[in-house]
A = this chain, B = another copy of it.
Amino acid sequence: MARVATTTDAFNAVAEPRRRQILDVLAAGERPVNDLVRRLGLAQPLVSKHLRVLREVGLVDVRDEGRQRIYRLNGRSLKPIHDWVKNYEQAWAERFDRLDVVLEELKGAEHTGKEQGDGSDDE
Chain B residues within an 8 Å CB radius of A86: 82, 109, 113
Contact present for A121 and B92 (CB under 8 Å): yes
What is the chain B residue whose CB lies nearest that of A114?
Answer: B87
What is the chain B residue whose CB lies nearest that of A112?
Answer: B111
Integer count of this chain's copies in the complex: 2
Contact present for A118 and B120 (CB under 8 Å): no
Contact present for B79 and A118 (CB under 8 Å): no
What is the chain B residue whose CB lies nearest that of A72?
Answer: B119
Chain B residues within an 8 Å CB radius of A28: 118
In angstroms, Cα B92 to Cα A79, docked, is: 7
Contact present for B118 and A29 (CB under 8 Å): yes
A116 contacts partner chain B, Cβ-Cβ < 8 Å: yes
In angstroms, Cα B92 to Cα A115, docked, is: 15
In angstroms, Cα B123 to Cα A79, docked, is: 30
Contact present for B90 and A110 (CB under 8 Å): yes
Contact present for A91 and B116 (CB under 8 Å): yes
Contact present for A115 and B113 (CB under 8 Å): no
A residues contacting B by CB (< 8 A) are: 3-4, 6, 11-12, 14-17, 20, 23, 27-30, 38-39, 73-76, 78-79, 81-82, 84-94, 99-100, 102-103, 106-107, 109-121, 123
